[in-house]
Structure 1
Amino acid sequence: MRINYCGHCFAEITPEVQQCPFCGIVLQEWAYSLDYETRLIHTLGHPLADVRMRAIIALGKRGDPQAADPLVRCALRHPIDVVEGLEIVAGLRRLRPGGARSKALDRLARDHPAHAVRRAAAEVLTGMADKK
């Protein structure tokens, strides 16, 4: 059986629901009221790892530095998912240069519980410093 989720609060809902019984959002109206980048950032809170992963990859490819902090929060919310953490580091590397990208990578290099994620973030920071 397929499980559907409210796009706003991520509560489990049945496919025919038009308005979420948990948060009250009218699903179609809410989805169309947000730009694509905002929806991707919001999707980082989804309970399913594969849905979050698609958003992580898309945000990295878009390169918008505004995604830096939400990506870090996602990585720290799911510290056991090392693959997701490494993809977040890769996505941060692809963001346009700026302070937000450097701060995000520095935070992961210091604070992420997984050694592999800390090391990957530190390596990207070192590579960025070498290019200067």
Structure 2
Amino acid sequence: MARHPEICPACFARLEAEAKRCPRCGALMAELSARDYREKLLRALMHPLAEVRMRAVIALGLRAEPETADALAQCALSHPTDVVEGLEVVERLRDWPKTEARDAALIRLSAHPSRLVRRAAARACSIIANRGLIHA
């Protein structure tokens, strides 16, 4: 029998090492293990531990897939007191190629509760607009 992480990747509940199904949410460990990497990273953005979320932010940021921009912005907005995470999301999005999704995410982040994140997002929008890199 395969060993699984002792935390359910779907709901983050503690599991027995040999559990096949999560007792809290009912997720099957074999199905969760078969998910693609991007889906696992997107799921990690909802993790209660900031370190896990930050690793996912960095990995998704490096992948620069436009369909993940909204999830990155939502992660930063869902954790308004984690300013470092919010700034990292802005920095990663700023470096992406020009897409509507990237621009929309940066615009959303310009309304972040943290003034530092708001300013960084507004600055990123201004820089990419000045370089002609904003999606028209």
Q: TM-score under structure 1 normalisation?
A: 0.90
- CA distance, structure 2, for counterparts of residue 54 and residue 21 of structure 1: 27
Alpha-carbon offset, residue 67 of structure 1: 1.0
Partner of 2:116: 116
Partner of 1:41: 42
Which deviates the most, 7-16 or 86-95?
7-16
Task: Give the root-mean-square deviation of aligned CA atoms.
Answer: 1.4
Q: How does 1:1-132 map to 2 (within 5 A)?
A: 4-32=6-34, 34-109=35-110, 111-132=111-132
Which structure 1 residue ranges, 4+ long, deviate > 2 Å from structure 2?
Answer: 12-18
- CA distance, structure 2, for counterparts of residue 4 and residue 96 of structure 1: 38
The residue type equivalent to 1:120 in the other structure is A
Counterpart contact for 1:64–1:96, Cα < 8 Å? no
- CA distance, structure 2, for counterparts of residue 54 and residue 65 of structure 1: 18
Unaligned runs of 5+ in 2: none
Quote the sequence identity (%).
48
The residue type equivalent to 2:113 in the other structure is P
- CA distance, structure 2, for counterparts of residue 60 and residue 88 of structure 1: 7
Which deviates the most, 16-25 or 61-70?
16-25
- Match of 1:102, SS state, is helix
Unaligned runs of 5+ in 1: none
Q: TM-score under structure 2 normalisation?
A: 0.88
The residue type equivalent to 2:21 in the other structure is Q
Counterpart contact for 1:69–1:100, Cα < 8 Å? yes
Deviations 1:19-68 (A, max 9, x none): 10011111132221x21111111110011110010000000000101111
Alpha-carbon offset, residue 91 of structure 1: 1.6
